[in-house]
Structure formats: structure tokens, C-alpha cells
Chain A
Amino acid sequence: MTVLFAVVIALAAVSALGVVLSRQTIYSALSLVLTVSMLAVLFLLLNAQFLFAVQLIIYAGAVVVLFVFIVALLSPDAEDRPTLDLRAVIGIAGVIVVTALVFIAARNGITYNTNGFHATAVGGASDPYHTFKFPQDTVNNAGNVQTVAGQLFTNYLLPFEITSMLLLVAAIGAVYLTRRSSR
């Protein structure tokens, strides 16, 4: 299990770098497929079976196919390899600093539990990870998709309906933007 997590996290990180650093746009799109698929596996390992399916169908199925379609249609020229100018230096420094800060913060237990934000040393008696009520795998027993759908269609029904409105607006906007006579 832990080995699987390590492999998935490493592949997702490497292919995310591939999205940014590939010279050809089509290679960026293929790296994005790998990233999205690895994140889908990560969702499955984190007991989010519904999101695993949604991630594969919507991202790997629809969004990336749309990207590949646009790349094939427009066939943009290969860009020069990104140069190491000021923007790139700031970006690389930002990646390293933010990742390290978040990792260290999470490792030292600055996290959220039912009592609010906590900053306690890892491994101590007051370590939130030692006092956490970890899942009794009730979620597994009930069927994860079932519990998610139960929440989605009761407590979160209004946001769910608003997302359908958003998709309608996006579809109308796309049709408006790509109509033939633009004036």
C-alpha cells in the first residue's frame, strides 16, 4: 500500500513537470494524461471511488481529448525550450519553497481537526495523528459512492444544481464564441 502510494506520487510529480517542460504541445497533453490518471489512482487509494471514476471519465476521457483535438486542429509550432529568465527562476524558487513549507507544516502537525487548527510536534502525546478518530471503515461498509451521493443530494443539493447551471452557461458560451460569423 505504502509502496503503491510512493510510486503514484512520484509518477504524478514527474509527469506534472513533463507538462510544463515539454517542448511539443502534444507531449504536454500526453504528460497531462499520465498526471490525471495517477491522481485517479490516488483517489482510489484514498477511498474516493466515485471521484476515481469521474476523474477518469471527465479528465482523461473528455478534457484531455479536447486538448489533443485542439492541438491536432491548430498544430501550433514547437516552442523554444523555456529559457532560464527571471520568471523561470522565480517559478522554480516558488515550487521548491512552497512545497517544502507545506510538507514541513503538515509534517509538524499544523493541521485541522474538529478542535480547529493545531500546531503540535509529531509523535508527541498531543499529536493530532495519535488522537485522531480514524475511520472505523464505516464508509467502506456502507459503500462510498452511496454515502457521497447521500450528502450530495441532501445537504449539497443547491450547489449541485448550481453546477448544472454553470455547465449550461459554459456550453452556451462555447457555442457563442465559436459561431461562424463573428460580426
Chain B
Amino acid sequence: MLNPNLFPYLLGLSAFLFTVGAMGVLIRRNPIVVFMCIELMLNAGNVALVAYGRFLNSEEGQIFAFMVIVVAAAEVVVGLALITQIFRLGRELDVDDLSEMKE
């Protein structure tokens, strides 16, 4: 049996991971690290979903967390393809310099 007092800590961890990821998106300039921070934010959502699912005795939290993982995998594939393409164009890897997507 799970201690119900754990639940605020799990939601707190979820909020912490999400805001740390958002802070990383704000302050980092390397697009690879920005993508890692987006992964952190998606994982934070998963923690909240699984915690709610566990404490409400329902499987739906796990199912939606599974969907979020699939979306994260798709997002990272396209994002890293974009990063390699930017690198191939000879640009510097810095999101502040990439304010326009012209070729």
C-alpha cells in the first residue's frame, strides 16, 4: 500500500522538472540542449499522469503517458534531423542566431 502523503512530492517533482525544462529552453543557446530540455518537460507531464493514475486507481494515466512517450520520440527524430540540416548548411549551432528559417 502506497503512502498517500507521497502524492504532493510526486506532483512537486513534476512541477520542478517542467519548470527546470522551461528555464533551460529560456537560457540555453545550443539547440541540442534545448531539445533535451523539451524532453524533460514531456517527462514531467508523464510523472504527473502516472502519479494521478496510481492514486486514482486507473490505468488511463499510464495509457496517456505512453502516448506522450510516442510523441516525444517523434518530436526528437524530426528535431535532430533539423539540427543536422542546420549544421550541414554551415550555420553555427545557436538558437539566437537562427531567427529566420530561410535557406
Contact = CB atoms under 8 A, between A and B. Distances in A.
Contacts of A51: 46, 50, 62, 65-66, 69
Interface in B22-68: 22-24, 26-30, 32-33, 35-37, 39-40, 43, 46-47, 50-57, 59-60, 62-63, 65-67
Contacts of A13: 13, 16-17, 20
Contacts of A95: 16, 19-20, 23
B23 A92 contact: yes
A134 interface: yes
A55 B36 contact: no
Majority SS of interface residues in chain A? Answer: helix
Interface in A124-153: 129, 132-135, 137, 139, 144, 147-148, 151-152
- A: interface residue count bin: 35 or more
A90 B4 contact: no
A50 B6 CA distance: 21
Contact of B85 (A152, A156, A178): A178
Contacts of B11: 102-103, 105-106
Given A63-B76, A112-B56, A35 B15 contact: no
Contacts of B3: 1-2
Interface string A36-73: 10010011001110110011001100110011001101
Given A54-B69, A63-B39, A70 B30 contact: no
Interface in B52-100: 52-57, 59-60, 62-63, 65-67, 69-78, 80-85, 87-88, 93
Contacts of B55: 132, 134
12 contacts: A2-B6, A36-B39, A42-B13, A50-B66, A51-B66, A58-B73, A74-B87, A103-B9, A103-B12, A170-B77, A174-B80, A177-B84
Nearest 9 CB-CB pairings of A with B: A91-B23, A170-B74, A103-B12, A102-B15, A20-B24, A106-B8, A177-B81, A95-B19, A107-B8
Interface of A: 1-2, 5, 9, 12-13, 16-17, 19-20, 25, 28-29, 32, 35-36, 39, 42-43, 46-48, 50-51, 54-55, 58-59, 62-63, 66-67, 70-71, 73-74, 76, 79, 82, 85, 87-88, 90-92, 94-95, 98-99, 101-103, 105-107, 111-114, 129, 132-135, 137, 139, 144, 147-148, 151-152, 156, 159-160, 163, 166-167, 169-171, 173-174, 177-178, 182-183
